[in-house]
Amino acid sequence: MQQIQLIGRLGQDAKMIDHSGKKFLSFSVAVDDDYKDQAGTKIDRTVWYDCNMDNTAVAQYLKKGTQVFIQGKPRAEVYFSDRDSKYYPKFRVAVNRLQLLGAATDRPAGNDLPPVATPAGQPATTGVSGDDSNDLPF
């Protein structure tokens, strides 16, 4: 079994796709992958992941710039760019868990807690367990 966990930001609003009567969400997530080269110079790099998710109930929350945690099954592909005649990797994730991260100001008004999205047919939770107000959120 392959699973990947990522934290990143959405590159655009999620799009609802209807493929042969089955609806799903499509969105891209940018993940910073900074490192230092042999000379000690910091190299900033962003890796993009194309994501698909069966749970369409969270579409209203998936807006450009929203920070998310995703977990799912990864898949790597290669595509050819006509622009510069080179091959590039493309990463895809079939998302089975998603949680909104960040400050409350990043979320639509009236929603105090970000939903945790699970596969279709399973109940979604708020990401908080129990009623103890003394619990830490991490």
This prediction has a pTM of 0.70
Query: CB under 8 Å to 133, separation ≥6 — which residues?
Result: none
**Residue 51 · residue 8 · CB < 8 Å:** no
Residue 82 or 109, more confident: 82
The tokens describing 86, both together, are 């080179």
pLDDT at 104: 41
pLDDT per residue as tens digits for the range 24-65: 999 999 999 999 999 999 999 999 999 999 988 999 999 999
The tokens describing 129, both together, are 């367990």
Task: Give the residue extent of every domain in the chain.
Answer: 4-117
Looking at CATH, the fold of the domain delimited by 4-117 is given as OB fold (Dihydrolipoamide Acetyltransferase, E2P) (2.40.50)
Report the share of the chain in percent with pLDDT over 70.
73
